[in-house]
Amino acid sequence: MTEPYGSGQYDQPGQGYSGGQGYGGQPQHGPPYGAPPYGGPAGQPGPGGYPPAGYPGGYPSGSTPLPTPSAPRTAADRLALVATVVTIVGYVCAGAGLLAFILRLTSGGGDGAVRFAAALEALISGIGLGGLNIAVGAWLTARKS
């Protein structure tokens, strides 16, 4: 007769899926929790020896490193950023005009000629505005250099 609970191979200490560590035991790799990272008790060498030279030992309690300030941006950097943003907006406008053209053609309602005229108006507006933004972005990029 078999026992339904507590008699399986994985219920015994030291057994389990990992093969050698029971539930709640210490990990097989690395020092136990709370041990210094390099060796024995504080200040004494252990299996790992002394810490490497220049080891900071962590930050003082309650402090974090401050970010280093970046260099101030120049006018050329700002101009390059504006040129990139204007160009991206131009591509978005052109894509939105093409999408509006397709959606206006496929939407129901109204006469075919009226739908086509509305779709063509959306296409021309989107591509025209997008092309204008792309041209301004290219001009700003050329002006930068």
> Please, what are the averages of pLDDT over each run of 10 residues along the chain (145 residues)?
57 54 54 53 56 56 70 83 94 96 87 90 95 95 79
Burial of 90 (C-beta count, 10 Å sphere; 0-12/13-18/19+):
buried
This prediction's pTM? 0.50
The burial class, CB within 10 Å (0-12 / 13-18 / 19+), for 13 is exposed
- The range of the structural domain enclosing residue 108 comes to 75-144
Count of positions (residues) in the chain: 145
Separation of alpha carbons 100 and 56, rounded Å = 60
Whether residue 7 lies inside any domain: the answer is no
122 within some domain: yes
- pLDDT tens-digit readout, 17-43: 555 555 555 555 555 555 555 555 555
104 within domain boundaries? yes
Distance CA 85, CA 137 (A): 8
Residue 100 placed within a domain: yes
- Would residue 135 count as lying in a domain? yes
> What pLDDT is recorded for position 57?
59
Q: What is the pLDDT of residue 3?
A: 56
Here the tokens at position 50 are 């002394």
Residue 84 forms part of a structural domain? yes
Q: For residue 128, tell me if it sits in a domain.
A: yes
Count of domains observed in the chain: 1
**pLDDT on residue 109:** 75
Number of helices (H), then strands (E), belonging to the chain: the values are 2, 0
Tokens 């978005």 sit at which residue? 92
